[in-house]
């Protein structure tokens, strides 16, 4: 049975499995094989009418070429990207304690804003329990906390909270180079046919700013909080008259939270029709409308960020020694002792060279004996 030779290499933080090239030309070694597919021994190959090609041999190993495996490697692993962590998150996560699902995001004032609306309940206030756990670590009770986003199609990773809103919006300090249509404190009417349009004092013409299959985030409706949340737009009706330029709402999206239902799993995104959720009213003139993006994901709290002298920095031994020499060099420079300064700078560079040399590049070939063969 043919044997295969594998090796691995690393370059910086990259580790990969490579396989010895098996060609019969150019002085490279060839693995024994049958000219007919599916036969792995000489007897079965020749019995089927094929020709058995024996493996070649060579005493000169310098011609061997390794490349990415062309077949499946059992238990093989390639780590393409790694990083030095700048934060730590508790490994014990509990929904609606330190893990909160969100429906999507929008942009408020140029900043990324995450959106959360509970299923079958009033709108979310990030300053009230249980959502207040997201910002409970800040002295002001609402900002300067860090969160980690997961499960997102775009925003996974660390973010810093800027404003904990009382209508489901969690504004971060993450700048977004993108603009979205939005209107704040507007007179908007809600109709029984799931449409929204300009109230008596408005001339927005909503259908000119939003399209079919867009998502919008509605907030500020104190008269009927059921009209707040994330909605899809099923159709639009354009008109030169503001009151006739309408958006028809299709589906509303919410998050099932821990006390909402005893029969449904916690943390699942819930979809329900706008007809079943809207509470029409024409009396509210403080409606906020933002174009939004549906992106069901989650936020993790209890994030320990490297931000003060008590944090541990992930450095190698060589890097730590290099920093010590660098600081000594700067102290000598400040004291006017340039001879000592040059000595410590030289030692600083030597430690960095040692650290870099420790990252050996090229293949590490694991050679076995003749009894070690793959099945």
pLDDT digits (tens, 9 = 90+) for 176-201: 999 899 999 998 888 888 888 998 88
Say if residue 49 is in the same domain as residue 183.
Answer: no
Answer yes or no: is pLDDT of 171 > 80. yes
| Final residue belonging to a domain, choices 82, 110, 144 | 82
Say if residue 147 is in the same domain as residue 216.
Answer: yes
Say if residue 56 is in the same domain as residue 95.
Answer: no
- What does the pLDDT read at residue 136? 60
Residue 370 lies in a domain: no
Count other C-beta atoms under 10 Å from residue 93's C-beta.
14
DSSP string of 190-214? E-TTSEEEE-TT----GGGT--TT-
Residue 184 lies in a domain: yes
CA distance 196 to 207: 10
- What does the pLDDT read at residue 276? 58
| Final residue belonging to a domain, choices 256, 288, 313 | 313
Helix (H, G, I), strand (E, B), or coil: what is residue 148?
strand
Residue 375 lies in a domain: no
Residue 25 lies in a domain: yes
Per-residue pLDDT of 274-303, as tens digits, reads 765 666 655 578 899 999 999 999 999 888
pTM of the entire structure?
Answer: 0.64
User: Residue with structure tokens 């249509």?
Assistant: 181
Helix (H, G, I), strand (E, B), or coil: what is residue 132?
helix
Say if residue 15 is in the same domain as residue 40.
Answer: yes
- What does the pLDDT read at residue 96? 86
Token couple for 335: 């004291």
Per DSSP, 123 falls in state P
Output 272-276 pairs: Cβ under 8 A, ≥24 positions apart.
Answer: 272/119, 273/194, 274/194, 274/231, 274/249, 274/250, 275/194
Give the residue numbers spanning the domain of 244.
86-313
Q: Are 9 and 76 in contact (CB under 8 A)?
A: no
Answer yes or no: is pLDDT of 88 > 80. no
More reliable by pLDDT, 374 or 170: 170
CA distance 165 to 126: 6
Instruction: Provide the mean pLDDT of the chain.
Output: 78
Answer yes or no: is pLDDT of 53 > 90. no
Mean pLDDT of 77-105: 76
Strand 246-255 with 229-237, pairing: antiparallel
User: 80 falls in which pLDDT band (50, 70, 90)?
Assistant: low
Say if residue 179 is in the same domain as residue 299.
Answer: yes
* % of the chain exceeding 90 in pLDDT: 30
CA distance 366 to 375: 18
Answer yes or no: is pLDDT of 375 > 60. no
CA distance 251 to 294: 12
Residue 369 lies in a domain: no
Say if residue 299 is in the same domain as residue 350.
Answer: no
Residue 372 lies in a domain: no
Say if residue 95 is in the same domain as residue 215.
Answer: yes
Q: Are 281 and 227 in contact (CB under 8 A)?
A: yes
Per-residue pLDDT of 142-163, as tens digits, reads 445 889 999 999 999 899 999 8
Q: Are 12 and 64 in contact (CB under 8 A)?
A: no
Residue 364 lies in a domain: no
The partner residues of 363 in beta bridges, in order of sequence, read 9
Query: What region, left, alpha or beta, does residue 306 occupy, with left being phi > 0 and alpha being psi -120 to 50 degrees?
Result: beta
Whether omega for the bond prior to residue 130 falls within 30 degrees of 0, making it cis, is yes
Say if residue 250 is in the same domain as residue 168.
Answer: yes
Q: Are 253 and 145 in contact (CB under 8 A)?
A: no
The partner residues of 67 in beta bridges, in order of sequence, read 19
- What does the pLDDT read at residue 31? 67
Residue 101 lies in a domain: yes
* % of the chain exceeding 70 in pLDDT: 71
Say if residue 30 is in the same domain as residue 71.
Answer: yes
Per-residue pLDDT of 225-242, as tens digits, reads 778 889 999 999 999 888
Say if residue 153 is in the same domain as residue 127.
Answer: yes
Say if residue 95 is in the same domain as residue 49.
Answer: no
Give how many domains the chain has, as a whole number: 3
Lowest mean pLDDT among 38-42, 84-88, 122-126, 145-149: 84-88
| Final residue belonging to a domain, choices 56, 82, 108 | 82
Per-residue pLDDT of 107-141, as tens digits, reads 999 999 999 988 766 678 898 888 888 876 543 34
Q: What are phi and psi of 328, to 5 degrees?
A: -65, -35
Say if residue 286 is in the same domain as residue 231.
Answer: yes
- What does the pLDDT read at residue 33? 75
């Amino acid at each position: 049975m043919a044997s295969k030779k594998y090796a691995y290499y690393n370059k910086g933080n990259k580790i990969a499995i490579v396989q010895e090239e098996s060609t019969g030309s150019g002085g490279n070694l060839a693995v024994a094989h049958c000219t007919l597919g599916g036969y792995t021994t000489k007897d079965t190959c020749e019995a089927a009418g094929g020709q058995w090609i024996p493996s070649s041999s060579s005493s000169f190993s310098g011609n061997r070429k390794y490349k990415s495996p062309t077949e499946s490697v059992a238990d093989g692993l390639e780590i393409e990207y790694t990083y030095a962590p700048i934060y730590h998150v508790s490994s014990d996560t509990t929904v609606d304690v330190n893990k909160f699902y969100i429906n999507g995001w929008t942009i408020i004032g140029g900043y990324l804003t995450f959106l959360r609306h509970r299923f079958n309940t009033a709108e979310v206030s990030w300053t009230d329990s249980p959502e207040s756990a997201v910002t409970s670590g800040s002295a002001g009770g609402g900002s300067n906390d860090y969160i980690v986003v997961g499960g997102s199609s775009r925003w996974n990773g660390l973010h810093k909270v800027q404003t904990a809103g009382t209508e489901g919006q969690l504004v971060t300090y993450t700048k977004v180079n993108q603009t979205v249509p939005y209107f704040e404190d507007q007179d908007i009417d809600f109709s029984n046919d799931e449409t929204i349009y300009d109230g008596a004092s408005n001339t927005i013409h909503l259908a000119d700013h939003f399209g079919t299959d867009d998502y919008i985030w509605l907030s500020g409706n104190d008269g009927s909080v059921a009209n707040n949340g994330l909605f899809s737009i099923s159709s639009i009706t354009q008109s030169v008259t503001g009151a006739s330029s309408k958006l028809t709402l299709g589906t509303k999206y919410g998050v099932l939270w821990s006390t909402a239902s005893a029969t449904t799993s916690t943390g699942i995104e819930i979809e329900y029709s706008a007809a079943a959720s809207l509470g029409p009213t024409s009396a509210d003139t403080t409606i906020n409308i933002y174009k939004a993006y549906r992106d069901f994901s989650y936020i993790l709290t209890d994030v320990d960020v490297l931000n003060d002298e008590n944090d541990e920095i992930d450095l190698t031994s060589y890097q730590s020694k290099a920093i010590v020499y660098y600081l000594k060099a700067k102290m000598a420079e400040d004291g006017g002792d340039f001879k000592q300064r040059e000595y410590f700078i030289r030692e600083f560079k030597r430690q960095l060279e040692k650290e870099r040399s420790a990252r050996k590049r090229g293949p590490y070939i694991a050679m076995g004996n003749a009894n070690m063969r793959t099945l």
